[in-house]
Copies of this chain bind each other. A is one copy, B any other.
Amino acid sequence: MATKQIPYKIYLSEEEIPRYWYNVKAHMKNEHPPFLNPATMKPCTKEELCQVFCEECVDQELNEKDEKIEIPEGIRDFYKMFRPSPLIRAYYLEKLLDTPAEIYYKFEGNNTSGSHKLNSAAAQAYYAKKQGLKSITTETGAGQWGTALAMASAFYGLHLDVYMVKVSAEQKPHRKEVIRTYGANVIPSPSDTTEAGRKILREFPGTGGSLGCAISEAVEKAVTSDSCRYVLGSVLDHVLLHQSIIGMESKIAMDKYGVKPDIIIGCMGGGSNFGGLIAPFMGDKLDGKNDIDFIGVEPASCPSVTRGKYVYDFCDSAKITPLAKMYTLGCGFMPSASHAGGLRYHGMSPVVSQLCHDGYLRAVSAEQTKVFDAAVMFAKCEGILPAPESSHAIRVAIDEALKCKAEGKKKTILFGLTGTGYFDMAAYKQYNDGTMSDYIPTDADLQKGFESIPKCPANEGLI
Stretch of A284-292, A328-336, A424-432 lying at the B interface: A424-432
A154 interface contact, C-beta 8 A = yes
Question: A80 near B428 (CB under 8 angstroms)?
Answer: no
Mark interface residues in A419-442 (1 if CB within 8 Å of B CB, else 0).
010110110110110000000000
Stretch of A3-11, A127-135, A347-355 lying at the B interface: A3-11
**A422 and chain B: residue at smallest CB distance:** B422
A14 interface contact, C-beta 8 A = yes
**How distant is the Cα of A173 from the Cα of B379 in the complex, in angstroms?**
19
**How distant is the Cα of A376 from the Cα of B422 in the complex, in angstroms?**
19
**A429 and chain B: residue at smallest CB distance:** B177
Q: Given contacts A112-B422, A181-B431, A182-B380, could you give 12 more A-B pairs where the C-beta distance is less than 8 Å?
A: A8-B81, A81-B384, A112-B384, A114-B422, A175-B425, A177-B429, A178-B422, A180-B429, A181-B376, A181-B425, A181-B428, A182-B379
14 contacts across the A-B interface (CB closer than 8 A): A7-B14, A8-B80, A81-B382, A92-B155, A111-B383, A112-B383, A112-B384, A112-B422, A174-B422, A174-B426, A177-B425, A180-B429, A181-B431, A422-B423
Mark interface residues in A384-422 (1 if CB within 8 Å of B CB, else 0).
110000000000000000000000000000000000101
**How distant is the Cα of A82 from the Cα of B109 in the complex, in angstroms?**
13
Query: Which range contains the number of A residues in contact with the other chain?
Result: 35 or more
Q: Point out the residue from B13, B379, B385 that lies within 8 Å of A7, measured CB to CB.
A: B13
**How distant is the Cα of A15 from the Cα of B27 in the complex, in angstroms?**
40
**How distant is the Cα of A161 from the Cα of B110 in the complex, in angstroms?**
29
A18 interface contact, C-beta 8 A = no
Question: A181 near B422 (CB under 8 angstroms)?
Answer: no
Check A432/B181 contact, CB under 8 A, given A11-B11, A422-B422.
yes
Chain A interface (Cβ within 8 Å of chain B)? Answer: 7-9, 11, 13-14, 80-82, 92, 110-112, 114, 151, 154-155, 173-175, 177-178, 180-183, 376, 379-385, 420, 422-423, 425-426, 428-429, 431-432
Question: B382 near A180 (CB under 8 angstroms)?
Answer: no
Question: A80 near B9 (CB under 8 angstroms)?
Answer: yes
- Each complex incorporates copies of this chain amounting to 2
**A15 and chain B: residue at smallest CB distance:** B7
Question: By CB atoms of chain B within 10 A, which of A154, A420, A425 has the most?
Answer: A425
Q: How far is the CB of A84 from chain B (nearest CB, A)?
A: 9
**How distant is the Cα of A177 from the Cα of B426 in the complex, in angstroms?**
8
Q: How far is the CB of A241 from chain B (nearest CB, A)?
A: 22
Q: Point out the residue from B175, B376, B420 that lies within 8 Å of A112, measured CB to CB.
A: B420
**A113 and chain B: residue at smallest CB distance:** B383
**A10 and chain B: residue at smallest CB distance:** B14
Check A177/B384 contact, CB under 8 A, given A8-B14, A379-B182, A422-B422.
no
**How distant is the Cα of A182 from the Cα of B383 in the complex, in angstroms?**
9
**A375 and chain B: residue at smallest CB distance:** B181
Question: A177 near B428 (CB under 8 angstroms)?
Answer: yes
**How distant is the Cα of A174 from the Cα of B182 in the complex, in angstroms?**
21
Q: How far is the CB of A380 from chain B (nearest CB, A)?
A: 4
Q: How far is the CB of A423 from chain B (nearest CB, A)?
A: 7
Question: A379 near B181 (CB under 8 angstroms)?
Answer: yes
Check A181/B385 contact, CB under 8 A, given A380-B155, A422-B422, A423-B422.
yes
**How distant is the Cα of A173 from the Cα of B426 in the complex, in angstroms?**
9
**How distant is the Cα of A248 from the Cα of B332 in the complex, in angstroms?**
57
Question: B14 near A379 (CB under 8 angstroms)?
Answer: no
**How distant is the Cα of A81 from the Cα of B151 in the complex, in angstroms?**
26
Question: A112 near B379 (CB under 8 angstroms)?
Answer: yes
- Residues on B with C-beta less than 8 A from A177 are 425-426, 428-429, 432
Check A183/B112 contact, CB under 8 A, given A7-B14, A385-B178.
no
Q: How far is the CB of A74 from chain B (nearest CB, A)?
A: 12
**A152 and chain B: residue at smallest CB distance:** B383
Q: Point out the residue from B114, B154, B376, B383 that lies within 8 Å of A380, measured CB to CB.
A: B154
